[in-house]
Chain A
């Protein structure tokens, strides 16, 4: 089992619905977020291109955050999902510093928080992650890469894609369709 997500940059309109839905689903406090939208403009008027990406934790196969966590709070869970166990986390912030994607934030309750792929509250119940299920453009695909029929496997077979900062060697599991 290998959970992964793909985001279609050709369809994402940057509306940030994924951000609000994650906040309300996962009780992310106002002022923080587990996912966010990045917009990159290229060219000069009128020869222009814009890429819009909904980003979040990459659930890296080789994650620096898990490696550097002194208490074991950051760990790999089912399907390779990278999670933080709040009560084990001492809030030292080493993981925040080590993440090349800036995917983690200090939760006001004193622990570090980040995207969970909605593993326990949704995925284990057979639901899509909150961001995937709310997206008005249906530009996100989620599932098990070991299952060739999962939406994410299928779309990665037919579309060109990239990952972010591959040179960091983290082997991210968040793919961007281009």
Chain B
């Protein structure tokens, strides 16, 4: 395996044996069926069990209902839950499709080699876990346990993280930082000394003005935010949307600023200029809480709306007018920090500008602006101290990304590719719940890293692309079939939510909690998993909080009172911020001492060459990343992505709505599959747009294979944010190929 390049194995290539295990199930609770234990059984009440949703990171809490035959029928929101207020989003409502998906991973698989032919063979859990434990032990002996890295997204992370820490590795990374929200966390951390959290601490419910910059709420179905935006619209709030595309949110906005792509920072600086120039900032707030105002004032002096017009193409009067709207609404105004903000490589600086604007408007700590969230201090089940890891994950990218406050996943990926000058190379990856080939841009780089691994373990529910490169594939059961850690989230009120199984695991699948505990046992690490099973551990934690597993099974969600009445600052209150100066840093000393611009500076980004268009991507409300693309309920709503093309561009190229085309990018990368054109006025002529998460190339995903284009595949050029390692993905340009050999679904059509 060290010498030969690993072949991608399509799980679909498995023999009929894969079906033999279908229908076999495993009893979590020894001796008795879970179904017996589920509240309501035998009482004539509809069977209803609590869960929190795993289709996206919002983790809405809800109820799973079953019909008379004991089949899962529907999932609805829990009225007491602050994440969803009793209403799930379409993906959560369609979550039952993940459980029913017949293409799920069904049994453990181990890669085998015969000559130069590689394939998967089915294995028992015992054999698969023994195999992994053996490899991990060998790697630990040869290179040290810190050479094993965990990539995770979602609820499995806690279980596998515990196992990793016990094993002696702190290299645990989630793509949700450097591929997504990292720049905003660092931008706000360096300014306010605190991060935004998830769900975001923005008080949309009571806002009078919200500015969305490239953030397409409504298509981006961050449930609580979409709900509160609708409430705010009802109450007459002004929405200002900045987007080169006429997004759904733009259609609900009083102002739509059709900005030239990649110039948002110029607009933000100009807004700051206008607000300072007209003395529209909150003087008391700025004086009381901030440092660096004079430097900022000097810095933005020349960033007039006329200056910004030349860059952004936004009418200077509109820039002034929208700045006035923000001022009029202040402090109940939100310049929305967004979520997926890794765009151009200077993203932390852009988010710093958002943070500065927020401070000038005095909306941090104010009703209708940013509130202070609170979460419970939930004790962990007592375990021995973890061994001190010999290497810290940041040593994988020594001297780089110094302001990253979480592990930079792509930094670990890069540190897996052997080079002469690096002491640390990862030898094994455990990948749980994230399809790294769709999450990381520059697939060639990811594949190079994978090629250098001695062990790749993938734990997932679906045969997503990354499984094809694994040495061992472990089929996790879906969230509807398992317990997980309690959801303990930051919100207006501290709260806990329980996920418990609504059904027994289908096929030969297991919950992450069990997999991690069992693997730990085989590695001799049971001391860090002293509980009999996860129920016992959860019950212990809940009793510490004055509740119990029994109570949580009945109520699903429990809200607790806040420790202090400090959701907002009180007028004139003394506040100490967790920054170097103890104040809100308009001028950032952290940025300065790390060698970065202490005040955000606009730099022009490369523009598409003649005949090319900037590739923009986003979300659809009925899909999450690439993980729902095969869900039968959700593909029913949308089963492929389409390419938005401006009519002028379409005329030039002779493109028509419904026509399939391929794309080629600036590096001559041609898309594997074709995509349907959607000619629409809703997009600028200098860019094209598609929804992320399609174009799967594993045949075993029967509804997703060959459907649309995988945007990640076209993102071969990555602009790394030097501040925190974020992978800027919006600097890629594509052109159209109309003449190609048809394959995949569109050839069958």
- Tell me the A residues contacting B by CB distance below 8 Å: 10-11, 13-17, 19-21, 23-25, 27, 30-31, 33, 41, 43-46, 48-50, 52, 133-139
Q: Which residues of A contact B227 (CB under 8 A)?
A: 136-138
14 A-B residue pairs with CB within 8 Å: A16-B621, A17-B90, A17-B93, A19-B90, A20-B90, A20-B94, A24-B94, A45-B684, A49-B251, A134-B77, A134-B87, A137-B230, A138-B87, A138-B231
Which are the 4 A-B pairs with shortest beta-carbon distances? A13-B218, A15-B621, A137-B230, A24-B74
Q: Which residues of A contact B93 (CB under 8 A)?
A: 17, 20-21, 24, 134
> Do A30 and B87 touch across chains, with their CB atoms under 8 A apart?
no
Residue of B94, B634, B681 touching A41 (CB-CB under 8 A):
B681
Q: Which of B88-104 contact A (CB under 8 A)?
A: 88-90, 93-94, 96
Q: Which of B207-224 contact A (CB under 8 A)?
A: 217-219, 221, 223
CA distance A134 to B218 in the complex (A): 15
Please give me the residue from chain B that is nearest to A11 by CB atom: B230
Q: Which residues of B contact A17 (CB under 8 A)?
A: 87-90, 93, 621
- Tell me the B residues contacting A by CB distance below 8 Å: 73-77, 86-90, 93-94, 96, 217-219, 221, 223, 226-227, 229-231, 233-234, 246, 248-252, 256, 258, 621-622, 632-634, 636-637, 646-647, 680-685
Please give me the residue from chain B that is nearest to A31 by CB atom: B636
> Do B634 and A20 touch across chains, with their CB atoms under 8 A apart?
yes
Q: Which residues of B contact A33 (CB under 8 A)?
A: 636
A-B contact count (CB 8 A): 121
Q: Smallest Cβ distance from A125 to chain B, in angstroms?
A: 12
CA distance A49 to B248 in the complex (A): 10
> Do B89 and A15 touch across chains, with their CB atoms under 8 A apart?
yes
Q: Smallest Cβ distance from A70 to chain B, in angstroms?
A: 32
Q: Smallest Cβ distance from A59 to chain B, in angstroms?
A: 23
> Do A24 and B96 touch across chains, with their CB atoms under 8 A apart?
yes
CA distance A11 to B252 in the complex (A): 7
CA distance A24 to B681 in the complex (A): 35
Q: Which residues of B contact A45 (CB under 8 A)?
A: 246, 258, 646, 681-685
CA distance A135 to B647 in the complex (A): 33
> Do A25 and B74 touch across chains, with their CB atoms under 8 A apart?
yes
> Do B633 and A136 touch across chains, with their CB atoms under 8 A apart?
no
> Do A30 and B633 touch across chains, with their CB atoms under 8 A apart?
yes
A15-B221, A30-B632 are contacts. A10–B88 as well, Cβ < 8 Å? no
Q: Which residues of B contact A46 (CB under 8 A)?
A: 246, 256, 258
CA distance A94 to B231 in the complex (A): 42
CA distance A16 to B230 in the complex (A): 16
Q: Which residues of A contact B646 (CB under 8 A)?
A: 45
Which has the most chain A C-beta neighbours within 10 Å: B75, B90, B96, B685?
Answer: B90
> Do B246 and A50 touch across chains, with their CB atoms under 8 A apart?
yes
CA distance A20 to B251 in the complex (A): 23
Residue of A19, A41, A52 touching B637 (CB-CB under 8 A):
A19
Q: Smallest Cβ distance from B462 to chain A, in angstroms?
A: 18
Which has the most chain B C-beta neighbours within 10 Å: A20, A45, A52?
Answer: A20
